[in-house]
C-alpha cells in the first residue's frame, strides 16, 4: 500500500516535471522568464530524481545512474538560476542543463511506457527491438535540436545604462 502511494506520488511528480519542463522550454525559446514554471520544473524534477532512489533495489541500476546524472545537471541549473541569476554564461548553462534534465525525464518516460503499456511492451519486450530504439532515437534527436536552439537563444542580457 505504501509503495503504491509512493509510486503514484513519484509518477505525478515526474509528469508535472515533464509538463512544466515543456513550458519552460517554450519560455527559453521565446526568451520569456516564466519564473513560476521554472521553479515548478526544477522542484518537481529534483523530487522525481530523489524519489527514484526510494524504490526497493538490491543493486545499482541504470535508472540510478540516470538519477545521479539528473541531480548533477539540476544542481548546475539551480546554481545558474538562483545563485548566479543567469548572469553572463550562466544563462546558457541554465538553458542547456534544463534541456538535459527534461531529456532524462523523457528518456525514463519512454522506458517506463515500453515496460508498462501492454501494446508497447508487446512491440519491444526487451527494449532492444526497433520500435523502442526508434522512439528513443527520435526523442534524443529532438532534444539535441532543442538544446542547440536553446543554447543559441541564451545570450547574456546586454548591460543597461544606469
- Say what the pLDDT of residue 139 is: 98
pLDDT single digits (tens) 130-155: 999 999 999 999 999 999 999 999 87
pLDDT single digits (tens) 83-130: 999 999 999 999 999 999 999 999 999 999 999 999 999 999 999 999
E-strand ranges in 3-162 read none
**What predicted TM-score, i.e. pTM, was given to this entire model?**
0.92
Q: What value does the mean pLDDT take over residues 44-69? A: 94
**22 vs 140: CA distance, rounded Å:** 15
pLDDT tier at 3 (50, 70, 90 boundaries)? confident
Phi, psi of 86 (to 5 degrees): 60, 25
Q: What is the mean pLDDT of the chain?
A: 94
Distances (CA, A) of 142 to 6, 40, 63, 99, 103: 31, 23, 21, 11, 9
Identify the sign of the CA torsion 73, 75, 81, 84: negative
**148 vs 96: CA distance, rounded Å:** 8
pLDDT tier at 81 (50, 70, 90 boundaries)? very high
- Say what the pLDDT of residue 161 is: 56
- Say what the pLDDT of residue 64 is: 93
Extents of the domains making up the chain: 2-152
Amino acid at each position: 500500500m505504501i509503495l503504491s502511494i509512493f509510486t503514484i506520488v513519484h509518477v505525478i511528480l515526474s509528469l508535472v516535471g515533464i509538463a512544466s519542463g515543456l513550458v519552460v522550454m517554450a519560455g527559453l525559446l521565446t526568451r520569456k522568464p516564466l519564473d513560476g514554471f521554472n521553479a515548478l520544473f526544477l522542484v518537481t524534477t529534483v523530487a522525481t530524481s530523489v524519489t527514484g532512489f526510494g524504490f526497493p533495489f538490491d543493486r545499482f541500476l541504470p535508472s540510478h545512474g540516470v538519477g545521479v546524472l539528473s541531480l548533477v545537471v539540476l544542481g548546475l541549473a539551480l546554481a545558474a538560476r538562483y545563485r548566479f541569476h543567469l548572469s553572463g554564461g550562466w544563462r546558457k548553462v541554465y538553458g542547456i542543463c534544463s534541456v538535459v534534465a527534461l531529456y532524462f525525464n523523457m528518456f525514463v518516460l519512454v522506458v517506463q511506457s515500453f515496460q508498462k503499456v501492454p501494446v508497447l511492451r508487446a512491440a519491444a519486450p526487451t527494449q532492444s527491438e526497433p520500435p523502442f530504439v526508434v522512439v528513443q532515437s527520435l526523442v534524443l534527436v529532438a532534444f539535441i535540436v532543442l538544446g542547440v536552439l536553446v543554447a543559441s537563444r541564451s545570450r547574456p542580457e546586454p548591460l543597461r545604462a544606469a
